Chain A
């Protein structure tokens, strides 16, 4: 456990010293959402209708943008080989990386989201549930993203490829998350959606570290 915390501290320290990366992700998130009123017109009801979906899609894309860096630095400078050889089980290395990725991208996305709710005229009664979906959903992005990021190490056009691999797998997250907001508006309650989202989170938590670790072993072999 001590080794895990050593690794976590190193990841966070690296992320803090390269905090421009996180800022860029947030900037992309905001700009992507802000483009929509220009594209579809500024009519408030229309924006309110599409707001949650647009914000979620933008969050997906923003998370993708930062994903390929999760292991890339360590792969290129040889650290990844040493992490594979370290006494920490590779699955835990993946989990630590995922946690660090979530803290530096997922969490800032959640913090920024209310600003975009205001700009997209999202009804205030669904704010809590939307924030809840982001809280449950963004860790899934980091988890599934870790598998994609590990798979494309050493590949040509890794970044674009990563999106092609991971985005289809994230469709359920998008559906359940945006569905929660609609469910509240229709008065059916978002409990089922949130439970499903939680289930997806638990499932990915159990399975993705294994797949990512396997992919990392292949990457350094």
Chain B
């Protein structure tokens, strides 16, 4: 059983202290929901967890090993969904989805399965420039399904999603957790996950 944790993490963004002393821990099958006002450091914490940034102090570890020690190994473990959609308008939906899944080379869901799971299977051949914001978001979310990664890092995954899709997303996350996965989710709305811890980030002092 894997443990993903962070201890006393400080982070400075620009010249502003965004996080100070953030601490968390989660095990296989558990989710962590990040709450807090705008600018409280939710996105920053997720980026730290992904390894895009390094904390100024404190460490983030996977099974006791600092993730910075072997970034390549950590990259394999995570599926990171940021604010930006990373969808290329010039490529078709399937091309967009299968590019990222083939690039990571991991054995998650196939592109068509993932699209169906998120309810956009019928859009597969459409060039992505015709998608609405919500549809683009769903294309982005397929990455967590195709990656087969145990740790999902989701930054505001429900942005631009309607209620039905949010429910479908909750179902997918619950299934991921039930099969031993982990998820860290920053959100403004209550997703109502079956088993999740809560980390409330305040404005850093």
Interface residues of A (CB under 8 A from B): 2-3, 6-7, 10, 13-14, 17-18, 73, 76-79, 81-82, 84-89, 220-221
Report if A85-B105 is in contact (Cβ < 8 Å); known contacts: A18-B90, A77-B84, A78-B84. no
Mark B74-93 against chain A: 1 for CB-CB distance below 8 A, else 0. Answer: 01101010111111101100
User: Are B90 and A86 touching (Cβ within 8 A)?
Assistant: no
Please provide the 7 A-B residue pairs with the shortest distance between their CB atoms, ordered closest to farther: A78-B84, A78-B86, A17-B90, A79-B86, A6-B102, A221-B53, A85-B75
The residue that B85 contacts in the complex, of A13, A77, A86, A88, with Cβ under 8 A, is A77
A120 and B176 alpha carbons, distance in the complex (Å): 66
Is B31 interfacial (CB 8 A cutoff)? Answer: no
Least Cβ–Cβ distance between A209 and chain B, in angstroms: 17
Chain B neighbourhood of A82, CB < 8 A: 80, 86, 100, 143
Report if A85-B88 is in contact (Cβ < 8 Å); known contacts: A6-B99, A6-B103, A221-B53. no
A221 and B95 alpha carbons, distance in the complex (Å): 27
* Least CB separation from A220: chain B residue: B52
* Least CB separation from A82: chain B residue: B86
Chain A neighbourhood of B103, CB < 8 A: 3, 6-7, 86-88
Interface residues of B (CB under 8 A from A): 50-54, 72, 75-76, 78, 80, 82-88, 90-91, 95, 99-100, 102-105, 143
Q: Is the interface of A mostly helix, strand, loop or mixed?
A: helix
* Least CB separation from A7: chain B residue: B103
User: Are A3 and B105 touching (Cβ within 8 A)?
Assistant: yes
Additional 15 contacts, C-beta under 8 A, given A87-B75, A221-B54: A2-B102, A2-B105, A3-B102, A6-B103, A77-B86, A77-B87, A78-B84, A81-B52, A81-B80, A81-B82, A82-B80, A82-B86, A84-B52, A85-B75, A87-B76
Least Cβ–Cβ distance between A6 and chain B, in angstroms: 4
* Least CB separation from A14: chain B residue: B90
Chain B neighbourhood of A87, CB < 8 A: 72, 75-76, 103-105
Report if A14-B88 is in contact (Cβ < 8 Å); known contacts: A85-B80, A88-B103. yes
Chain B neighbourhood of A84, CB < 8 A: 52
Chain A neighbourhood of B100, CB < 8 A: 82
List 20 A–B pairs whose Cβ atoms lie within 8 Å, in order of A's numbering: A6-B102, A6-B103, A7-B103, A14-B90, A14-B91, A77-B86, A77-B88, A78-B82, A78-B85, A81-B50, A81-B86, A85-B75, A86-B103, A87-B103, A87-B104, A87-B105, A88-B103, A89-B72, A220-B52, A221-B53
Chain A neighbourhood of B52, CB < 8 A: 81, 84-85, 220-221
A18 and B127 alpha carbons, distance in the complex (Å): 13
User: Are A86 and B88 touching (Cβ within 8 A)?
Assistant: no
* Least CB separation from B78: chain A residue: A85
Chain B neighbourhood of A18, CB < 8 A: 90
* Least CB separation from A221: chain B residue: B53
A221 and B86 alpha carbons, distance in the complex (Å): 17
User: Are A86 and B104 touching (Cβ within 8 A)?
Assistant: yes
User: Are B84 and A81 touching (Cβ within 8 A)?
Assistant: yes
User: Are B87 and A86 touching (Cβ within 8 A)?
Assistant: no
Chain B neighbourhood of A7, CB < 8 A: 103
A86 and B51 alpha carbons, distance in the complex (Å): 11
Chain B neighbourhood of A78, CB < 8 A: 82-86
Least Cβ–Cβ distance between B171 and chain A, in angstroms: 25
A7 and B78 alpha carbons, distance in the complex (Å): 19
Chain B neighbourhood of A3, CB < 8 A: 102-105
The residue that A85 contacts in the complex, of B50, B54, B84, B87, with Cβ under 8 A, is B50
Least Cβ–Cβ distance between B182 and chain A, in angstroms: 17
Chain B neighbourhood of A221, CB < 8 A: 52-54
Among A2, A84, A85, which residue has the most Cβ atoms of chain B within 10 A?
A: A85
A79 and B102 alpha carbons, distance in the complex (Å): 15
A221 and B54 alpha carbons, distance in the complex (Å): 8
Least Cβ–Cβ distance between A141 and chain B, in angstroms: 25
Chain A neighbourhood of B84, CB < 8 A: 76-79, 81
